[in-house]
Amino acid sequence: MIFGVLNQKGGVGKTTLSVNLAASLTRAGARVLLIDADPQGSALDWAAAREGDPLFSVAGFPRPSIHKEIGQIGHGYDHIVIDGPPRVTDLARSAIMAADIVVIPVQPSPYDIWAAEEVVKLIEEARIYKENIKSVFVINRKITNTAIGRDVREALAAYPVPVLQAVITQRVIFAEAAAHGQAVFELDANGPATAEVEAVATELMGYAQ
């Protein structure tokens, strides 16, 4: 399965979600490749910060030919997670074309909800060439007990894209893990952040069937 994690707005936690999704799939016993398709190279920075053996393979490929070369790049892997670029570019279009399911992280903010329109349009364009592409919103960095945190699901209903029931809450542990090139389960295997990531991964796998 190929997951493309994309949003045309920066700062939505795209790399954090990509890394922890890849880690969760690896933890479940799969062989996983994380492709860093963002020219900023945040996933590569994460991998470089890690001490010890890597959890999974990380490869930088910020080129608009991902969809043409994904078969060769990802040969032998059970799952591929693409950490996509910000902004509407040929690179973003290529990452969408390469994906089986496009995962759109959205923070509970009006700006994020408005910005989601761009990536939804890109997915609709891609369906002309690859009609079986699936897409889904993931509410990321949700702040508990806030009105906007509760209302974001209703606001996203305006788009023709489903919203996962599982959400990722804003927690310090995500930043702490990232600083050391780790996944949250390595810091707290039974904690709430790990449980949220596992729930997102499980729901995504079910949705992708």
Residue (of 4, 204, 201) closest to 102 by Cα position:
4
Identify the pLDDT of residue 165.
Answer: 93
CATH number at residue 178: 3.40.50.300
pLDDT average per 10 residues of sequence, the chain (209 residues): 87 89 96 95 94 94 93 95 86 94 90 86 92 93 72 88 93 94 96 97 87
Paired sense of beta strands 32-36 and 57-60, if any = parallel
Residue 13 pLDDT: 83
Query: The domain containing residue 10 runs over which residues?
Result: 2-208
pLDDT at 108: 84
pLDDT of residue 88: 63
- Per-residue tokens: 166: 């599982």
Total domains in the fold of the chain: 1
Distance, in Å, from the CA atom of 199 to the CA atom of 139, rounded to the nearest integer, reads 12
